[in-house]
Chains A and B, each alone.
Chain A
Amino acid sequence: KNEVEQSPQNLTAQEGEFITINCSYSVGISALHWLQQHPGGGIVSLFMLSSGKKKHGRLIATINIQEKHSSLHITASHPRDSAVYICAVDNTDKLIFGTGTRLQVFP
């Protein structure tokens, strides 16, 4: 079993829909990151969380430390949100990554 599990693996949405991507982990962490990877490989760090909730524009990330679970929400999704979203946990020594969620938003 992977130490970091993401769901779903693939997600298709219509423009304007509310999107939720989930991440569960089984190791101790000091922080959790949500990353966005566009075709071509470039990765952008969206959020770093150690507790609670963060919001940036249409993106919201939450974490429940007790349940070892985090969610990334996208409100009013747009085709430019199409990318792979990756959850990564900071396991003190290293980052451990989920396998990613491929999101496609159609107009």
Chain B
Amino acid sequence: KAGVTQTPRYLIKTRGQQVTLSCSPISGHRSVSWYQQTPGQGLQFLFEYFSETQRNKGNFPGRFSGRQFSNSRSEMNVSTLELGDSALYLCASSSDRTWTEAFFGQGTRLTVV
């Protein structure tokens, strides 16, 4: 079956702009979570969605938001981009929240200039 698909793979944006990233989970998976990976901070949890509801949120400013659609696809949005938002954004899908089968996408590499 198809894996977790993230689009786009690469993105370059200018400071102050906003960006939307997409994640399509494995078919049948209802949990999608998002992570930011930077060289300085490593991997950090952004938020998790399950059946269209945000269940958990990490310690990120309100500029970072997300949503999940009825088909479990998820989007995350970052508004008013800052240089420090440059990172690899990863999403992972799971059938439930116990992470017994966590599958990660390839990530979207965002560069803010």
Chain A interface (Cβ within 8 Å of chain B)?
30-31, 33, 35, 40-45, 48, 86, 88, 90, 93-100
Label chain A's interface by main secondary structure. strand
From A44, A45, A99, A100, residue with most partner B Cβ within 10 Å: A45
> Would A98 and B42 count as touching, CB distance under 8 A?
yes
How many Cβ-Cβ contacts under 8 Å join chain A to chain B? Answer: 54
State the CA gap A86–B88 with chains docked (Å): 15
Per the bound structure, the CA–CA distance linking A86 and B37 in Å amounts to: 12
A45-B102, A93-B56 are known; give 20 further A-B pairs, CB within 8 A: A30-B98, A31-B99, A40-B106, A42-B104, A42-B107, A43-B104, A43-B107, A45-B101, A45-B103, A48-B102, A86-B42, A88-B43, A90-B98, A94-B45, A94-B56, A95-B35, A95-B99, A97-B42, A98-B42, A100-B42
Q: How many residues of B contact A (CB 8 A)?
A: 24
Q: Does B111 contact A (CB under 8 A)?
A: no
The interface residues of chain B lying within 8 Å CB-to-CB of A88 are 43
Q: What is the predominant secondary structure among interface residues of chain B facing chain A?
A: strand
A100 to B88, CA, bound (A): 15
Cβ–Cβ contact A41 & B90, under 8 A? yes
Q: Is B58 an interface residue (CB 8 A)?
A: yes
The verdict on B100 contacting chain A, using a C-beta distance below 8 Å, is: yes
8 A-B pairs with CB atoms under 8 Å apart are A42-B107, A43-B104, A45-B101, A90-B98, A90-B99, A93-B56, A97-B44, A99-B42
